[in-house]
């Protein structure tokens, strides 16, 4: 009787239904737990069901750019200076923070830096140019700014920023662009352009021609801009990027290569990319060469052993620095590259503007690449520790390529100006004045936007959503 009741057709269906719901509920709970917890070890079953961060795929991007680096280190780079015809060569100490190199100098000093600009331009040329309505036919989403350069001046047309971090990133990006434009040797040659930039890590609208901080290989419509950190970043031990670089150089005087710890260091938050970052923590667990630990930003004291907060320059005290992407790209890479250390990174999925210069093999090798699951991390570390001269060479190349060339303020400013120029080739001519109704069926000319110089004086509420929509 009981048995029959249990196995009646509708009861069975109900039973399946309930167990189905229970299973889904269990999966959801496991995933929520796995992606949110900071617990260093997870049950196997939770690890199995963890999604791979928020990325859509496991695909990674490795560039073959040895030719660019070859020409970058060729001894005599000749460029025409504006006045006399002389030989000019980029010199880190003299030119590194010169935001006003001319175009010939930029080309000569930073071969390979403009690869993604060329790619985006050629992609656009094949698909049709950007028209004004392409930038106005959608609502700005979180982190976006619509802006314009006109007669060499930067104008803010519209913003949609949701919090103070958003606001800081946007102001820092605009400030960097403004610096690059103001420093131009030939400012009138800066073309008039209108564009929309976004300071969000993840592209909310990857099929639109937006200026972004990072993209995946398939986000071909996006244009890359330098990260706001080149201006400055309001976080413990950070600051203006060249300030951090100067700190790293200072630290190197006290602690040269031989004084560094022969260990792999990493500090970060696991729940920004749980699967990827946990794989790193697991692969390093218990190894003699490991100083890999998670940081909990909420703990101001960082008391947990192995989890002490390390500033970017403190990481320079280690011979090896691990790098792992976060929700999308990780802005920490550029700080790690300021150290005379070996960067050990998994195959990257997110592309930043200067990633074409990363080289994982050959005489100019400037970082070490491992698989995205870190399965080969242990053998890679054993090999590096067994070949200290190779490790030293990679660390030296890291400094020569990044700290002393492609991550300089000079390179950043060259990149911004090249971006503006290339964008102009595939986009419309913006206007400074537009016709608006004056209420009496007549139209008058009204200037669009507000100058950057004025915008930065506005208060928080005005800056984050400008201009406020009419009530």
Binding residues (CB under 6 A) for ligand NAG: these are: 80, 85, 104, 128, 130-131, 133-134, 209
Q: How far is the CB of 129 from ligand NAG (least distance, A)?
A: 8
209 vs 430, beta carbon nearer ligand NAG: 209
135 vs 264, beta carbon nearer ligand NAG: 135
137 vs 301, beta carbon nearer ligand NAG: 137
222 vs 248, beta carbon nearer ligand NAG: 222
**Helix %, strand %, coil % for the chain, to 5?**
40, 15, 45
DSSP 209: -
333 vs 426, beta carbon nearer ligand NAG: 426
User: Which ranges constitute the DSSP H helices of 74-156?
Assistant: 92-95, 103-109, 115-127, 132-136
Q: How far is the CB of 399 from ligand NAG (least distance, A)?
A: 28
Q: How far is the CB of 77 from ligand NAG (least distance, A)?
A: 10
DSSP 23: H
Q: How far is the CB of 467 from ligand NAG (least distance, A)?
A: 24
Q: How far is the CB of 102 from ligand NAG (least distance, A)?
A: 11
In angstroms, what CA-CA distances link 447 with 150, 157, 435, 450, 452? Answer: 11, 10, 9, 8, 14
Q: How far is the CB of 423 from ligand NAG (least distance, A)?
A: 12
87 vs 164, beta carbon nearer ligand NAG: 87
Q: How far is the CB of 311 from ligand NAG (least distance, A)?
A: 41
Where b means 16+ CB within 10 Å and e means fewer, 69-102 reads beebeeeebebeeeeeeeebebeeeebbebbbbb
Q: How far is the CB of 128 from ligand NAG (least distance, A)?
A: 6
Distance, in Å, from the CA atom of 363 to the CA atom of 379, rounded to the nearest integer, reads 21
92 vs 428, beta carbon nearer ligand NAG: 428
Q: State yes or no: cis peptide before 467, omega within 30 of 0.
A: yes
The DSSP bridge pattern shows strands 318-323 and 342-346 to be parallel
209 vs 331, beta carbon nearer ligand NAG: 209
129 vs 162, beta carbon nearer ligand NAG: 129
Q: How far is the CB of 176 from ligand NAG (least distance, A)?
A: 25
Cross-strand pairs, 223: 211
Cross-strand pairs, 323: 345
81 vs 308, beta carbon nearer ligand NAG: 81
75 vs 128, beta carbon nearer ligand NAG: 128
Q: How far is the CB of 224 from ligand NAG (least distance, A)?
A: 16
Q: How far is the CB of 225 from ligand NAG (least distance, A)?
A: 17
């Amino acid at each position: 009787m009981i048995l029959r009741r249990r196995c009646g057709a509708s009861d069975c269906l109900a039973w399946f239904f309930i167990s189905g719901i229970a299973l889904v509920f269990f999966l959801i709970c496991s995933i929520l737990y796995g992606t949110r917890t900071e617990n260093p070890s997870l049950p196997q079953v939770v690890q199995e069901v963890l999604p791979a961060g928020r990325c859509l795929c496991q695909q990674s991007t490795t560039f073959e750019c040895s030719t660019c680096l070859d020409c970058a280190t060729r001894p005599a780079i000749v460029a025409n200076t504006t006045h006399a015809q002389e030989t000019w060569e980029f010199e880190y100490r003299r030119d590194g923070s010169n935001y006003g190199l001319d175009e010939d100098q930029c080309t000569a000093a930073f071969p390979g830096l403009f690869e993604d600009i060329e790619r985006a331009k050629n992609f656009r040329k094949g698909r049709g140019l950007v028209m004004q309505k392409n930038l106005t036919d959608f609502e700005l989403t979180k982190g976006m700014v619509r802006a314009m350069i006109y007669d060499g001046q930067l104008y803010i047309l519209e913003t949609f920023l949701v919090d103070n971090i958003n606001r800081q990133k946007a102001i820092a990006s605009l400030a960097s662009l403004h610096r690059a434009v103001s420093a131009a040797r030939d400012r009138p040659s800066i073309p008039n352009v209108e564009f929309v930039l976004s300071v969000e890590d993840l592209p909310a609208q990857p099929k639109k021609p937006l200026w972004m901080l990072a993209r995946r290989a398939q986000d071909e419509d996006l244009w890359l801009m330098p990260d706001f950190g080149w201006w400055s970043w309001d976080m413990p031990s950070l600051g203006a990027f060249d300030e951090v670089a100067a700190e790293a150089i200072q630290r190197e005087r006290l602690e040269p290569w031989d004084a560094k710890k022969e260990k792999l260091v990493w500090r970060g938050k696991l729940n920004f990319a749980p699967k990827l970052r946990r794989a790193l923590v697991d692969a390093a667990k218990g190894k003699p060469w490991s100083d890999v630990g998670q940081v909990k930003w909420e703990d101001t004291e960082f008391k947990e052993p192995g989890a002490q907060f390390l500033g970017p320059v403190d990481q320079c005290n280690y011979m090896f620095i691990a790098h792992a992407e976060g929700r999308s790209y990780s802005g920490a890479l550029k700080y790690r590259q300021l150290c005379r250390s070996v960067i050990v990174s998994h195959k990257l999925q997110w592309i930043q503007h200067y990633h074409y210069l990363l080289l994982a093999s050959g005489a100019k090798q400037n970082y070490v690449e491992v698989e995205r699951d870190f399965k080969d991390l242990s053998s890679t570390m054993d090999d590096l520790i067994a070949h200290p001269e190779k490790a030293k060479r990679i660390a030296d190349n890291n400094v020569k390529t990044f700290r002393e060339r492609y991550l300089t303020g000079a390179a950043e400013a060259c990149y911004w100006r090249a971006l503006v120029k290339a964008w102009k080739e595939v986009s419309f001519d913006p206007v400074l004045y537009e016709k608006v109704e004056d209420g009496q069926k007549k139209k008058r000319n009204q200037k669009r936007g507000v100058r950057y110089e004025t915008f930065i004086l506005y208060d928080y509420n005005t800056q984050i959503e400008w201009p406020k929509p009419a009530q």
